[in-house]
């Protein structure tokens, strides 16, 4: 009998016993006198028997309720992050709109350029130089704004204003480009008229 109990204990410790075999061990340790060699095993076995039975459904309900709580906390975190992102993108859009407004209003209040060149060729060269400088500044600004592409969602409502402002700036540039042509045309036409007048006087 002791050999069979030792074999069952070995299987029990390895987790290989059936319910019937565990019932045999329980009966052996509770109803009979146990040999001295098996006393530590009896104490260990009886200690595991004294543990309270826990209903699996209660454990599952507890786990599910804790899981549900953590899911609610995570959902609230996501909502807060979403609100924070929307608020930050709206604030950035408003700041950009105010910046553009201030930029265009201060530029429109600047004084008109005064003709300071006597030589039309120099005026044309200076105009071309200024236009190249303005073009490079515009490309620098547009390159600097590329990291803000993620703000496009709220900016879509301002695209109409942006197109309108670009159209006005293009018209201003075209007028500035044509202006030296008118000046040069006037100069050449007056020089041509004076030469024609001198030729007619000489004849």
What digits encode the pLDDT tens for the residues 170-190?
667 766 666 666 666 666 665
Please, which residues have CB within 8 angstroms of residue 165's CB and are 6 or more apart in sequence? 100, 104
Q: What is the pLDDT of residue 21?
A: 85
Q: What is the pLDDT of residues 139-153, one digit of tens each?
A: 777 666 666 556 565
Is a pLDDT exceeding 60 seen at residue 163? yes
Two tokens, residue 163: 């197109």
Is a pLDDT exceeding 70 seen at residue 161? no
CA 58 from centre of chain: 43
Mean pLDDT in residue range 115-142: 80
CA-to-CA dists, residue 106 to 99, 109, 131, 177, 181, angstroms: 11, 5, 19, 22, 28
Q: What is the pLDDT of residue 8?
A: 83
Q: What is the pLDDT of residue 100?
A: 86
């Amino acid at each position: 009998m002791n050999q069979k109990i030792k074999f069952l204990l070995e299987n029990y410790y390895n987790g290989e016993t059936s319910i019937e075999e565990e019932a045999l061990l329980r009966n052996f340790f509770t109803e009979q006198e146990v040999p001295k060699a098996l006393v530590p095993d009896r104490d260990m076995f009886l200690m595991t028997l004294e543990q309270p039975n826990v209903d699996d459904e209660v454990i599952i309900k507890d786990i599910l309720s804790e899981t549900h709580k953590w899911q609610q906390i995570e959902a609230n975190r996501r909502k807060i992050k979403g609100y924070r992102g929307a608020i930050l993108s709206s604030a950035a859009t408003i700041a950009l709109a105010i910046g553009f407004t201030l930029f265009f209003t201060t530029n429109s209040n600047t004084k008109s350029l005064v003709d300071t060149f006597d030589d039309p060729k120099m005026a044309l060269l200076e105009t071309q130089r200024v236009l190249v400088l303005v073009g490079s500044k515009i490309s620098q600004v547009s390159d600097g704004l590329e990291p803000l592409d993620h703000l496009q969602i709220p900016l879509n409502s301002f695209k109409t204003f942006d197109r309108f402002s670009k159209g006005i700036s293009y018209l201003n540039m075209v007028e500035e480009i044509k202006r030296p042509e008118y000046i040069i045309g006037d100069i050449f036409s007056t020089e041509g008229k004076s030469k024609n007048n001198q030729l007619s006087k000489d004849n």
